Amino acid sequence: MRILSIESSCDETSAAVVELVNNKIVVHSNVTATSLAMHAKTGGIIPENAAREQVKYIIPVIKEALEKYYQVTNLLTNQLTLHDIDAIAVTYGPGFIGSLLVGVETAKTLSFVFNKPLIPVNHLLAHLFANFISPELNAKRYQLNASSFPFIGLIVSGGHTDLLYFESVNKYEWLGGTKDDAAGEALDKIGRLLGLSYPAGPEIEERAKLFSSSLSSKERAGVRFHSPVIGSDDFDFSFSGLKSEVMRFVQANLTVNREPITKNSLINEICFAVQRAVIDVLVKKTLAAAEKYGVPTILLGGGVSANQTLMEQLRSNVKGHMSHVNIFSPEQKYCTDNAAMIGAYALLNPKEKPWEKVFATPDLYFS
């Protein structure tokens, strides 16, 4: 089965052609246009601006994804045709209404005009199933398959932080999630306080590494922030208190006469402490869930799962009776929003719906 997939839930506009070959999810093309540079200027996403950009990008991105696929298979075409495509998959939620509408209405139109089945996909679940995308040739990655169930899934993105227990591709239980800010959202807001680039996750990771390589481990205990709700006996998270704690620290230590000042070494140390506070609670609750449900596998997904320190901490903390637990995150390029993961989930769970019954659903959660 070959699928054209479309993703437009937030600020990215992405299209991909993916196929199930001998039970492997092969990505033929994955094209993403981003309006990140525009959002960097405002220090965050203004949904209406994102959607206006997506209106411009959507058809060129789909066309490029198809052309890349047809070139691969020597079927060059100048027209938008869906030759060789068996179905269309699209993110229908959660996300910004304007952004979702762009992708959903385009997919519905293509489904109607070219008479192809339509598969609506939950963006959050797709983040986890990005782990099932087949590794590129020569890549030293383990291929996940039907025997990878059950698993604990941790979705950590700019909009969500959720823990789930998966029995099969469409049978799962939500265990807990954030009560306020998502992990990525907290990192981005703290990055803004510190004058970092947007989105701030990658720079916070980079600066944390610079700090930890600059000192011996004994000397690292200087700045410390609390890991929110780390002691609670549940699978919930909360990150807005961390943001307030950092704000108070910045006001006390990085301002003179209320004017912000730049002290690079202190900013690096704050990044280290912030990242540690976020990672500590993610690791503790994820491993507690894996232990409670006795699973052999933990899968991460979402932009924050690109964080190498998070993966290292998880892996180094599965010890003793849990040392058999394998932990995966998607290939770096499939951690952040992309259409290939939407196609991957649709290939594994090809639930078609008549195009008239598919609607952009901004507050879609787990159902």
Q: Nearest approach, Cβ of 232 to ligand KG4 (angstroms)?
A: 23
Which residue from 157, 178, 297, 329 is in contact with Zn ion, where contact means CB under 5 A?
Answer: 157
In terms of CB distance, is 202 or 241 closer to ligand KG4?
A: 202
Query: Which among Zn ion, ligand KG4, none contacts residue 271 (Cβ within 5 to 8 A by kind)?
Result: none
For residue 264, give the amino acid letter.
N
In terms of CB distance, is 127 or 243 closer to Zn ion?
A: 127
CB atoms inside a 10 Å sphere around CB 40:
12
Which residue from 30, 157, 161, 313 is in contact with ligand KG4, where contact means CB under 6 A?
Answer: 157
In terms of CB distance, is 19 or 205 closer to ligand KG4?
A: 205
- Phi-psi domain of 84 (left: phi exceeds 0; alpha: psi -120 through 50; beta: other): left
Which residue from 177, 184, 228, 343 is in contact with ligand KG4, where contact means CB under 6 A?
Answer: 184
Q: Nearest approach, Cβ of 322 to Zn ion (angstroms)?
A: 28
Contact map string, positions 327 to 346, toward ligand KG4, x by CB under 6 A: ---------xx---------
Q: Of 218-226, 246-254, 284-292, 296-304, which part binds ligand KG4 (CB under 6 A)? A: 296-304
DSSP state of 178: B
Q: Of 42-50, 146-154, 180-188, 351-359, which part binds ligand KG4 (CB under 6 A)? A: 180-188
For residue 361, give the amino acid letter.
T
Site for Zn ion in 298-337 (CB under 5 A): 337
φ/ψ of 204, rounded to 5, equals: -60, -40
208 touches ligand KG4 (CB under 6 A)? no
Exposure of 257 by Cβ count < 10 A (0-12 exposed, 13-18 middle, 19+ buried)? Answer: exposed
Contact 72, 84 (CB under 8 A): no
Q: Tokens 């591709």 appear where?
A: 169
CB atoms inside a 10 Å sphere around CB 36:
15
Q: How many whole angstroms separate alpha carbon 295 and alpha carbon 79?
A: 48
Contact 338, 32 (CB under 8 A): yes
In terms of CB distance, is 2 or 123 closer to Zn ion?
A: 123
Binding site for Zn ion (CB under 5 A): 157, 337
